[in-house]
Structure 1
């Protein structure tokens, strides 16, 4: 079995791992601080809160849909390490604006910074996966992808917890986020320092895929996106892998958007419970990411994808069943200890953990598949095409969620959307497994 832990001791992997870790940490530190501040400190209406969460998710995702074609072209045409440094410089500037929004309680400024962080992540996204086949051996790519994914979700855990902790309540009942503002700037600066150690990853010169767009830059956003997606999706194995990943992220977008309003309005709990939910989900994906590498013994494959997707759906259904019959809060929102003292509270946490573990087992081999079945010179654009389709379905999912909330569907009932989508993901995973045999 391929031991991936040794990669953490090498310069060909550790700097990109740390840079990605800190980027994900800061994304979630900022987003969690923003959501907690808005949900608990600014808005006082359940519909407004659910709508804000959905809009915030859509704004973060939109740049992936609009700009991924450009980011993929840039990453395949230039030194990926240089792009990492440029992107991390931009993160510092974005977090200065985000910090101002947290201090001033300015929703427009917060949303602007969130949108800018979406752009930042769009240009960094193809690199974190596409750089691995250049720096790692083929039998190390699955392990490296698993470590990246596990590290990302551990970072999400850390950023989520810290973001929840640093939004503080004053004696008069109002909330403030000055410490969170300082933290996002500091983490961005450390991330830029780590990015300086990523080894050069110059453009590869492998044989091009027939039908794939010629290397170079097409600055026309719409044309470049359509060309890239059409060229990638006509290859059956890539089509199945990308669609399966996209359904996973669409399900994740619905869950993540609804965690804070779900906790507050369906479970009658405060921000400490919302933080626990987000943290549990992060830990679960990290566990699943490492576990699937052990099961596959370093060999890229999709044989566990159908069962993993079905398990996700079953855990979501059980979560829905438990939340629908949950007792309402009597007067004040329950804190963490009061929530966990209720019957079946731990079963809700275990359901979330199960969803996340199954999700990690589902998605990690699919990313490794994308980066190892195309020439190295095409990996960034393949990931970019994947990001376009992912973000399109995620935006569609958040729009459907927003419309459903406006039509009177409760946040608990929205879990049924995720359960249904898991059936489609399982079918796609099965088709991919058959295509890989």
Structure 2
């Protein structure tokens, strides 16, 4: 592990590492100690909760006053209650104090909590165990804002997706190990409770020891005055999160994932016992499958997103979650009867059970596609001085959604709905929630369409894509080869773009819907509609003033021959009103495709990455507004395109 000094732990200072694999971060002091600290904390959470849940489900007689049918949901609700009560306060604390110091204090607190929980295991005292569950919730509440606000201070923007992927993967591997350890320890009928007590304390001590190496992470708002009133501060945090609509709806999206995941995870013990007719060891197999799925999905995000924050993966994730959640319902009704509770070997010997495992694996993997881009989006778009409080708002919403999840599960159980029915209800609700969120923020759906087009039909090569500015106003100028030029550029841009499009495109059913929701700017020639032309220039000026990217195709129409048409003076008018850098770009490889006007256009075949599917997007050096004449821009774009159309 590298021990190099970290005097200014900023993303800029780490930009030199952006080219490395995400796994290289595990050898860096800026990431590794923090990763293992949170890993051990997540593992301990699950050793404790799984051990407690397993004991009260399969050894109910040892715990007086406990209802085995609702205990798992109650444990989950108690654990997340502190998130509702204390998240607002913990967010302020994380913004005000050094995050490394807070990490060590939280891990010291964990040791005390595990001593209380250990006493509960030792004496089979449900009250002490419920108290320990609540205090572990407090521990996680305090650590949550630190965890996600720490990463942007030590990772570059290009590393955020990979870093978040590792954190998500690590969390669920920790859940897996904690589940196996907790379930195995609880399986010792005579001494399981004692083993659990010792294990929890040892893991807490190890977490505290690792936290010593977490590097200093200075507070971003040390002069913040803490409001200790949780009600008013909770409301203020939620209002703060709502200032950026996309961030707030991303918080809701993550909270829905926790609703979805909590419903499944809390049901696994009853699912194994009542539906699969399996013993507690099979619960470990279910949780292991789920953890491997979400861990692998989280790690795949960096590759699928090309090290960018690719929110197009979010709709892909939600589709997969519903598809495999619904199939899990049907798989649960196609199981043979079992004469007794099956062991792991007996369970795996039944072919029908493999369908259940595949559904869980893929459902969780798509959950990883869904969650990692959302976390990275929130971290990148939140104001640094308020980031921890935005994460606190996220925790508040997560906890509320998880409590509702537990209440829904208890309510459906009371109505006689079985575990497969609860899974089906959740998967169908996911469709409704996803449709609602994407209707409010079409950016997710548009990026998904763009991502699917580029990754299904084409293989795209980028040349100097880093020249597209990640912040600030700029005008992008590109040749116009096909009907999907804008979608290809959208897929490869690090941020949203306002496209200036011919007004006739807005009349077509699908393309019109896509570009209207993408806030494209309709434009018409002066001889057709001078008022629309004036409105278009006004809209471009407003977008550039707001610091947005505006993209225009100066030819004004698609090429009919593959050669470039003369550039018109629209771009000159735009930058005359609002001077901004102009970035020339060129697309090559789309001429002759189905989406072009070529006479012998070919329909692209999905996943057939042949010669006809190879595209290039080349980006030139930005020009000042004074340099960017139509003639100069056309010369540069022509050179960038080269001989291939």
Taking structure 1 as the reference length, what is the TM-score of the superposition? 0.93
Tell me the CA shift for residue 353 of structure 1: 0.3
Contact 1:90 1:120 in 2 (8 A): yes
Could you give the per-residue CA deviations for residues 193-214 of structure 1, whole angstroms, max 9, x where no partner exists? Answer: 11111111111259xxxxxxx9
Give the aligned partner of residue 254 of structure 1. Answer: 263
**SS of the residue aligned with 2:419?**
coil
8 Å contact kept, 1:50–1:258: no
**Is 1:61 the counterpart of 2:80 in the alignment?**
yes
1:55-96, Cα deviation, whole Å (9 max, x unpaired): 111111111111110010000011111111111001001111
* Whole-angstrom CA distance in 1 between matches of 2:355 and 2:43: 27
What CA distance in whole angstroms lies between the structure 2 residues aligned with 1:296 and 1:426? 20
Name structure 2 gaps, 5 residues minimum: 1-18, 448-494, 497-645
1:81 to 2:97 alignment: no
Give the secondary structure class of the aligned counterpart of 1:131: helix
Q: Which residue matches 2:442?
A: 431
Distance of 1:218 and 1:94 partners within structure 2: 26
Q: Would you say the 8 A contact 1:240–1:431 is kept in 2?
A: no
Match of 2:302 in 1: 293
Structure with max Cα Rg:
2
Aligned residue pairs total 425
Q: Contact 1:270 / 1:335 at 8 angstroms: preserved in 2? A: yes
TM-score, scaled relative to structure 2: 0.64
CA contact under 8 A between 2:47 and 2:178: conserved in structure 1? Answer: yes
SS at match of 1:216: coil
1:333 aligns with 2:352: no
Confirm or deny: 8 A CA contact 2:335 2:353 kept in the other structure.
Answer: no
User: 1:23 is matched with which residue: 26, 32, 41?
Assistant: 41
Kept after mapping to 1: 8 A contact 2:173/2:291: yes
Match of 2:210 among 194, 214, 221: 194
Indicate whether 1:179 and 2:190 are aligned: no
Quick one: higher RCO (CA 8 Å, sep 6+), 1 or 2? 1
SS in 2 for 1:223: helix
Query: Matched residues in 2 for 1:278 and 1:167: separation?
Result: 16
Alignment of 1:3-402 (within 5 A): 3-42=21-60, 48-170=67-189, 176-204=192-220, 215-330=224-339, 332-402=340-410
CA contact (8 A) 2:62 2:124 kept: no
Displacement after TM superposition at 1:32 (Å): 1.0
CA distance, structure 2, for counterparts of residue 175 and residue 404 of structure 1: 35
Structure 1 distance, partners of 2:188, 2:343, is: 13
Aligned Cα root-mean-square deviation (Å): 2.0
* Farther off after superposition, 116-125 or 419-428: 419-428
**1:2, 1:43 → 2: CA distance?**
54
Q: Is the 8 A contact 1:102 1:110 kept in 2?
A: yes
In the TM superposition, residue 156 of structure 1 has moved relative to its aligned partner by: 0.8
| CA–CA separation in structure 2 for the residues paired with 1:157 and 1:328 | 28
Distance verdict in 2 for CA 1:389–1:374, change over 3 Å: same
Question: Are the equivalent residues in 1 in contact too, given 2:316–2:369 (CA < 8 A)?
Answer: no
Give CA-to-partner distance per residue, 1:188-233, whole Å, 9 cap, x none.
0000011111111111259xxxxxxx94311001110011102212
Counterparts of 2:54 and 2:443, CA distance in 1? 39
* 1:407 corresponds to: 415
Partner in structure 2 of residue 210 of structure 1: none
Whether the 8 Å contact between 1:87 and 1:124 is mirrored in structure 2 is yes
Q: 1:239 to 1:221 in 2, by over 3 A?
A: same
Q: What is the distance in 1 between the residues matched to 2:304 and 2:171?
A: 20
The 1-side partners of 2:76 and 2:377 are apart by 27
**CA offsets per residue over residues 118-177 of structure 1, 9 Å max, x none?**
01000001111100111112211111111111111111111111111112344xxx6732
The answer to whether the Cα contact below 8 Å between 1:247 and 1:421 also exists between their aligned partners in 2 is no
SS of the residue 1:414 aligns to: helix
| Distance in 2, Cα, partners of 1:158 & 1:176 | 17
**How far apart in 1 are the matches of 2:23 and 2:183?**
30
